[in-house]
């Protein structure tokens, strides 16, 4: 772990974590080649012979439509009853990235109540209803909530928010989202057609085909799940003369048949 932490300090794009379920050390990076370089450095510089598994895709979850929910939670403590209810809605958003969070403003409500609501919202959107992947491309709005100084309890607010988010998400047609990579392949003209056909076979789409000197440049977007071993494959298709670069572009919904397969493996 110390070796990985040192590498992570040198490389901000490398993330190191430990799986709570399996205890495995997980490393996340910018692609298969990046992870291979990290593995090579572990062995070469730190003499760490790690048992490294196959790369895995980091999926996300989102929603197709908007939905609302209202949940209440009560508990007794020290012979006193506490209760809170929260109403909220989840809205599909065209804005890519982490969920936007909003809480209705109310007068005479102490700051600790708003803090409890926001903390619970942030925790709730960290895990989607399908497979527990983080949520993206949506907005969560707390539209109303109870406040009684005699009944206020932060735990009740947090549980009510978590339950309401989960209930709303389940009604909002949740979907899995997969990362798409922007890929550039530089290839001799006689092999460009083969590369284009290969892009299509990987569920990708060609964005453009340009000349660069005596070579052709194929611009494409391809799901990351289809890109493991890509450099080796395109070199084989072009008699060793093609090269590629890739970077993350965005997330898109996973086709239904593949989503069912992925959910069966989680």
Cβ-based neighbours of 119, under 8 Å, separated by 6 or more: 158
Classify residue 117 as exposed, middle or buried by CB count within 10 Å of its CB (0-12, 13-18, 19+): buried
Q: Which SS3 state, helix, strand or coil, does residue 13 take?
A: coil
CA nearest neighbour of 84 among 94, 73, 100: 73
> Which CATH number is 2-56 given?
3.30.70.870
Q: Which residues of the chain have pLDDT under 50?
A: none
- Residues of CATH 3.30.70.870 domain(s) within the chain? 2-56
The pTM for the full model equals 0.79
Contact 245, 184 (CB under 8 A): yes
Q: Determine phi and psi for 244, rounding to 5 degrees.
A: -140, 155
- Residues of CATH 3.30.230.10 domain(s) within the chain? 61-172
Distances (CA, A) of 26 to 17, 36, 54: 5, 14, 11
End-to-end CA distance of the chain: 26
Task: Return the CATH fold of 176-253.
Answer: Alpha-Beta Plaits (3.30.70)
Q: What is the per-residue pLDDT across 181-217, written as a single tens digit (0 to 9) for each?
A: 999 999 999 999 999 999 999 999 999 999 999 999 9
3-state helix, strand, coil in the chain (%, to 5): 35, 35, 30
What ranges in the chain are assigned the alpha helix state H?
Answer: 2-10, 32-46, 111-124, 154-171, 189-201, 230-237, 256-265
Question: Which CATH number among 1.10.150.120, 3.30.230.10, 3.40.50.720, 1.10.760.10 corresponds to the domain 61-172?
Answer: 3.30.230.10
């Amino acid at each position: 772990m110390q070796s990985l932490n040192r590498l992570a300090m040198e490389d901000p794009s490398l993330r190191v974590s430990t799986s709570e379920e399996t205890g495995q050390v997980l490393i996340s990076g910018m692609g298969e080649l990046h992870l291979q370089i990290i593995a090579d450095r572990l062995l070469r510089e730190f003499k760490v012979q790690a048992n490294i598994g196959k790369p895995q895709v980091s999926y996300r979850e989102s929603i197709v439509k908007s939905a609302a929910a209202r949940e209440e939670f009560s508990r007794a403590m020290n012979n006193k009853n506490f209760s809170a209810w929260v109403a909220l809605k989840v809205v599909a958003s065209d804005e890519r990235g982490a969920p936007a969070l909003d809480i209705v403003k109310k007068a005479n409500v102490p700051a600790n109540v708003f803090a409890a609501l926001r903390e619970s919202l942030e925790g709730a959107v960290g895990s989607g209803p399908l497979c527990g992947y983080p949520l993206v491309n949506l907005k969560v709005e707390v539209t109303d909530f109870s406040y009684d100084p005699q009944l206020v309890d932060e735990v009740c607010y947090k549980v009510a928010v978590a339950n309401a988010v989960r209930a709303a998400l389940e009604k909002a047609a949740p979907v899995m989202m997969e990362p798409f990579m922007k890929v550039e392949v530089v290839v001799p003209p006689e092999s460009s057609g083969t590369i284009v056909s290969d892009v299509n076979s990987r569920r990708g789409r060609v964005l453009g085909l340009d000349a660069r000197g005596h070579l052709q440049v194929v611009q494409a977007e391809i799901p990351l799940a289809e890109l493991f071993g890509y450099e080796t494959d395109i070199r084989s298709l072009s008699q060793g003369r093609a090269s590629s670069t890739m970077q993350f572009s965005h997330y898109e919904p996973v086709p239904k048949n593949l989503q069912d397969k992925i959910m069966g493996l989680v």
